[in-house]
A and B are shown apart, each in its own frame.
Chain A
């Protein structure tokens, strides 16, 4: 097992390098003098000079890339000129909030998505199936930002169940209860689309599995139907559901941008949009590499989970 994890970690290195190359290449598209372009409205002579020194922008592209990469490996993602602080500090501070939001949404969409898919498949063509199919269709068609706004109108403004926005109350204790009441709406809004996608795939994965011979065997053994569905069939279907969960984690993580804006959640996504609008390029660059790297790591965890679940995978 440890060997397998190590192998997967090693295989992530080229992917991570690829990510930095792609981000670097995209940023190299910026026209004009790089230092001035990167700094945008912060292009004071001192800043330009400092940036040229830090990133070696007068050197050839390849050299620039390695300087940038080397700095990042030492934890130096550069300086945000708009915020006047190191990028990494801002990132670490913001990432926690995004992780709470996206993590909760991911748990919700995995749970509800798989459950809806299983029920839908078990009751194929029945009322529950039709109802779920329709709700799922609605879910994958609604933009999360619009859904979030409608939730604010309904549950925060009219019903006053939840606070309108933010992560913590302005006054009052920052305890778990406060966090949950602030988190509920954004997490749900973020989870809805992914729930729909997962439900659809789980449904078809379950239908595929339920036709297999070993399901008939389980029934012939006299295993109660509930157990046939939730243990035998679901366990086998998970093998094809788990990779989908991995992909959806990426959607949830990056889709957090919209929800963070709507609910004024102090996360990385909102920071990125602000940074783009202010042309704070180093912050964008660092943020994208950081989040993408986290996602790659998460996918390794998914692979490991898959290998634990399926004894046929050689570890």
Chain B
């Protein structure tokens, strides 16, 4: 409750709404005590006095009645009626909803059918029909507005009740021999009450608007009694000659409803946990960059990642997902990046083309050089023209990574047309060609299929075809075979390997599976807690791992083809990357840990083609260099 209130208070607009609304409600409550003119006493000699005239702060209406007094009394009435309507709708609706949800079966069916029928009506029309039957009058308008809102509550509350009705504490109450009525009152009701309150807070504004509307039409409060709606309705005849008589009540309705909406939004935001974590932000077209200095270019690799640092900023916490990674690939080469989930391997891969979701991702240091040109912080258009053209991605689960509502053809054609001005027919021919090249049977007809019509393996082939669309020089494959079964996995791997040979592609292959690395990669980098702990030729590392972590990683995954395996065999968990320990990040789980390991930064020691970040490697690197 405390956190809820402080969250609410943090929302400044909601706070203002609450304050203004409280003032209005307070004024309405104390209206009878205020020294106001009688609201219903007519004084035709003083008709239409303008605002700020003597004795009438807001002027007078067409019958010479004091507008301020009528406004406050009208506000009082409108608030009372709106609140009453909300209360009635909530009570009746919740009762119906709870009964339907609790008893289920036939009862539920019949009730919900009825509710659906009511919801098939255009809303205000139903209210009009009810008023037509009962006759005009404020009480009847209130009943009508409440009645048309009942289905809304019934449906909402039923949903919540259904989810509660089968929880253990309800079953326990049943076993204890509690009657249904008692279960509903003491077990169900307290749990659905918050939902009822939220639903009320979001609808009460509507109800005030609707009762005001009916009164405006002359179907609600009858003269001389007036709520805000009927004041507006009566003033309409003099709208052009004396607009202030219309503006005063209309503005009041606007203020009340707006404050209620502001407050209601604030309440909803404070209660919705998804908004708390900021998870509902949308990722920007390219990852945000905030780096102090740019490492100088060195060498002339095709693609070189230098000292890359990527962080996630969530509220006031900083997760160092990638903490200074160096990588290079050359044409025709395949580099594997291996590690557990959370090791930063995917974030490294996505950082290269600025595809890390941002917010919360921020690239805070390093450089990514493609043919010498730094891509980090490059203008969006530069990034875009390289993405999918020179550097292409293949992602993990192609069911969620392909657009569900476009045909394969459309998506392939788009990939081509994003970088080349070619006619659609030409692009389509290319699409079919691509599908054939990744060995999809019946490419001619498949091209018009939707992703959900394909098997997982076929979809991943489409993912690869899409990556090949513009003959890229680098392909970054982020666990492309993880979601697939073993045979399909092997097929996809050999397909990638063929492509590498035939087209001289450079491949960066992200995986957690040493079997895959063994089959495909020339070199491999092992990542742990956002950093590379060992790097070198695949063969050398496979025969003699130097870092204790690499050895353990290999021990859990003996060979290709055992399906999806996690790295359970290593005891303990990787460190949380928002508080990395000083020194070796693996120290908690290593069997050789000693004091020096935690002493401070351990450098990645280079020796020939291999490198390791450990003060006591399992093998001395110098020996293994052939």
User: Is B166 among interface residues, defined by CB-CB distance under 8 A?
Assistant: no
> What's the Cα separation between A143 and B135 when bound, in Å?
23
The stretch of A47-55, A71-79, A175-183, A306-314 in contact with B is A306-314
CB distance from A75 to the nearest CB of B (A): 21
Q: Mark A146-175, 1 if CB is under 8 A from B, else 0.
A: 100110110001000000100000000000
Q: Verify B418–A276 contact, CB threshold 8 A.
A: no
Q: Verify A217–B128 contact, CB threshold 8 A.
A: no
CB distance from A127 to the nearest CB of B (A): 15
Given pairs A150-B250, A210-B282, A276-B136, 13 additional interface contacts (CB within 8 A): A22-B118, A27-B132, A137-B261, A153-B243, A214-B403, A216-B283, A216-B401, A218-B414, A222-B388, A258-B217, A276-B132, A279-B135, A295-B120
Q: Verify A217–B261 contact, CB threshold 8 A.
A: no
Pull 7 A–B residue pairs with CB atoms less than 8 Å apart, ordered by A: A143-B253, A146-B254, A213-B397, A221-B387, A221-B415, A224-B384, A225-B384
> What's the Cα separation between A141 and B355 when bound, in Å?
39
Q: Verify A149–B239 contact, CB threshold 8 A.
A: yes
List chain A residues, Cβ under 8 A from B216: 143, 145, 258, 261
Residue from B121, B389, B403, B404 in contact with A19 in the complex, judged by beta carbons closer than 8 Å? B121
> What's the Cα separation between A299 and B119 when bound, in Å?
12
> What's the Cα separation between A223 and B388 when bound, in Å?
8
Q: Verify A124–B213 contact, CB threshold 8 A.
A: no
User: Is B209 among interface residues, defined by CB-CB distance under 8 A?
Assistant: yes
> What's the Cα separation between A231 and B112 when bound, in Å?
37
User: Is B406 among interface residues, defined by CB-CB distance under 8 A?
Assistant: yes
> What's the Cα separation between A277 and B132 when bound, in Å?
8
List chain A residues, Cβ under 8 A from B400: 212-214
Q: Verify A257–B124 contact, CB threshold 8 A.
A: yes
> What's the Cα separation between A254 and B236 when bound, in Å?
21
CB distance from A198 to the nearest CB of B (A): 15
Q: Verify A145–B418 contact, CB threshold 8 A.
A: no
User: Is B550 among interface residues, defined by CB-CB distance under 8 A?
Assistant: no
User: Is A57 among interface residues, defined by CB-CB distance under 8 A?
Assistant: no
List chain B residues, Cβ under 8 A from A250: 121-123
List residues 257-273 of chain A with CB under 8 A from any CB of chain B.
257-258, 261-262, 272-273
List chain B residues, Cβ under 8 A from A124: 281-282
Which residue of the partner chain A has the closest CB to B239? A149
List chain A residues, Cβ under 8 A from B131: 276
User: Is A116 among interface residues, defined by CB-CB distance under 8 A?
Assistant: no
List chain B residues, Cβ under 8 A from A225: 285, 380, 384
List residues 160-213 of chain B with CB under 8 A from any CB of chain A.
205, 209, 212-213
User: Is A88 among interface residues, defined by CB-CB distance under 8 A?
Assistant: no
> What's the Cα separation between A221 and B216 when bound, in Å?
56
Which residue of the partner chain B has the closest CB to A208? B280
List chain B residues, Cβ under 8 A from A299: 120
Which residue of the partner chain A has the closest CB to B257? A141
Q: Verify A220–B353 contact, CB threshold 8 A.
A: yes
User: Is B552 among interface residues, defined by CB-CB distance under 8 A?
Assistant: no
Residue from B229, B357, B387 in contact with A222 in the complex, judged by beta carbons closer than 8 Å? B387
Q: Verify A222–B253 contact, CB threshold 8 A.
A: no
User: Is B431 among interface residues, defined by CB-CB distance under 8 A?
Assistant: no
List chain B residues, Cβ under 8 A from A218: 403, 414
Q: Verify A223–B414 contact, CB threshold 8 A.
A: yes
Given contacts A211-B357, A225-B285, A232-B403, contact A272 B128 (CB under 8 A): yes
Q: Verify A235–B385 contact, CB threshold 8 A.
A: no
The stretch of A2-10, A61-69, A284-292 in contact with B is A284-292
Q: Verify B253–A236 contact, CB threshold 8 A.
A: no
Which residue of the partner chain A has the closest CB to B134? A29
Which residue of the partner chain A has the closest CB to B381? A224
List chain B residues, Cβ under 8 A from A212: 400
Which residue of the partner chain B has the closest CB to A293? B120
User: Is A26 among interface residues, defined by CB-CB distance under 8 A?
Assistant: yes
CB distance from B600 to the nearest CB of A (A): 38
Q: Verify A257–B217 contact, CB threshold 8 A.
A: yes
> What's the Cα separation between A221 and B355 when bound, in Å?
11
List chain A residues, Cβ under 8 A from B114: 18
Q: Verify A207–B261 contact, CB threshold 8 A.
A: no
> What's the Cα separation between A236 and B402 when bound, in Å?
12
List chain B residues, Cβ under 8 A from A188: none
Which residue of the partner chain B has the closest CB to A277? B218
User: Is A219 among interface residues, defined by CB-CB distance under 8 A?
Assistant: yes
List chain B residues, Cβ under 8 A from A311: 405, 450, 452
Q: Verify A217–B395 contact, CB threshold 8 A.
A: yes
User: Is B246 among interface residues, defined by CB-CB distance under 8 A?
Assistant: yes
User: Is B262 among interface residues, defined by CB-CB distance under 8 A?
Assistant: yes
> What's the Cα separation between A56 and B186 when bound, in Å?
50
> What's the Cα separation between A157 and B239 when bound, in Å?
10
CB distance from A24 to the nearest CB of B (A): 10
Q: Mark B397-413, 1 if CB is under 8 A from A, else 0.
A: 10011111110000000
List chain A residues, Cβ under 8 A from B123: 250-251, 254
Q: Verify A206–B282 contact, CB threshold 8 A.
A: yes
List chain B residues, Cβ under 8 A from A312: 404-405, 450, 452
List residues 1-39 of chain A with CB under 8 A from any CB of chain B.
15, 18-19, 21-23, 26-27, 29-30
> What's the Cα separation between A295 and B117 when bound, in Å?
12
> What's the Cα separation between A299 and B414 when bound, in Å?
33
Kindly name the residue among A207, A211, A222 whose own CB sees the greatest number of chain B CB atoms within 10 A: A222
Interface band, chain A: 35 or more
> What's the Cα separation between A297 and B218 when bound, in Å?
31
User: Is A253 among interface residues, defined by CB-CB distance under 8 A?
Assistant: yes
Q: Verify A220–B388 contact, CB threshold 8 A.
A: yes
Given contacts A26-B130, A146-B250, contact A217 B402 (CB under 8 A): yes
User: Is A87 among interface residues, defined by CB-CB distance under 8 A?
Assistant: no
User: Is B556 among interface residues, defined by CB-CB distance under 8 A?
Assistant: no
User: Is A111 among interface residues, defined by CB-CB distance under 8 A?
Assistant: no
Q: Verify A140–B124 contact, CB threshold 8 A.
A: no
CB distance from B465 to the nearest CB of A (A): 12
User: Is B129 among interface residues, defined by CB-CB distance under 8 A?
Assistant: yes
List chain B residues, Cβ under 8 A from A272: 125, 128, 132
User: Is B509 among interface residues, defined by CB-CB distance under 8 A?
Assistant: no
Q: Verify A141–B404 contact, CB threshold 8 A.
A: no
User: Is B514 among interface residues, defined by CB-CB distance under 8 A?
Assistant: no
Q: Verify B418–A223 contact, CB threshold 8 A.
A: yes
> What's the Cα separation between A309 and B450 when bound, in Å?
12
User: Is B419 among interface residues, defined by CB-CB distance under 8 A?
Assistant: yes
Q: Verify B121–A273 contact, CB threshold 8 A.
A: no
User: Is B393 among interface residues, defined by CB-CB distance under 8 A?
Assistant: yes
List chain A residues, Cβ under 8 A from B466: 217, 221
Given contacts A124-B281, A284-B128, A295-B121, contact A310 B239 (CB under 8 A): no
Q: Verify A276–B128 contact, CB threshold 8 A.
A: yes
Which residue of the partner chain A has the closest CB to B453? A311
List chain B residues, Cβ under 8 A from A29: 133-134
User: Is A255 among interface residues, defined by CB-CB distance under 8 A?
Assistant: yes
User: Is A245 among interface residues, defined by CB-CB distance under 8 A?
Assistant: no
> What's the Cα separation between A273 and B419 when bound, in Å?
60
List chain B residues, Cβ under 8 A from A214: 400-404
> What's the Cα separation between A110 and B386 when bound, in Å?
36
List chain B residues, Cβ under 8 A from A220: 353, 355, 387-388, 392-393, 395
> What's the Cα separation between A292 and B117 when bound, in Å?
11
Q: Verify B236–A149 contact, CB threshold 8 A.
A: yes
Q: Verify A221–B117 contact, CB threshold 8 A.
A: no
> What's the Cα separation between A18 and B118 when bound, in Å?
8
Which residue of the partner chain B has the closest CB to A21? B117
> What's the Cα separation between A213 and B283 when bound, in Å?
11
Q: Verify B218–A254 contact, CB threshold 8 A.
A: no
User: Is B327 among interface residues, defined by CB-CB distance under 8 A?
Assistant: no
Q: Verify B405–A143 contact, CB threshold 8 A.
A: no
List residues 89-127 of chain B with CB under 8 A from any CB of chain A.
113-114, 116-118, 120-126
Kindly name the residue among A29, A164, A276 whose own CB sees the greatest number of chain B CB atoms within 10 A: A276
> What's the Cα separation between A146 and B233 when bound, in Å?
9
CB distance from B213 to the nearest CB of A (A): 6
User: Is A201 among interface residues, defined by CB-CB distance under 8 A?
Assistant: no
Which residue of the partner chain B has the closest CB to A212? B400
CB distance from A43 to the nearest CB of B (A): 15
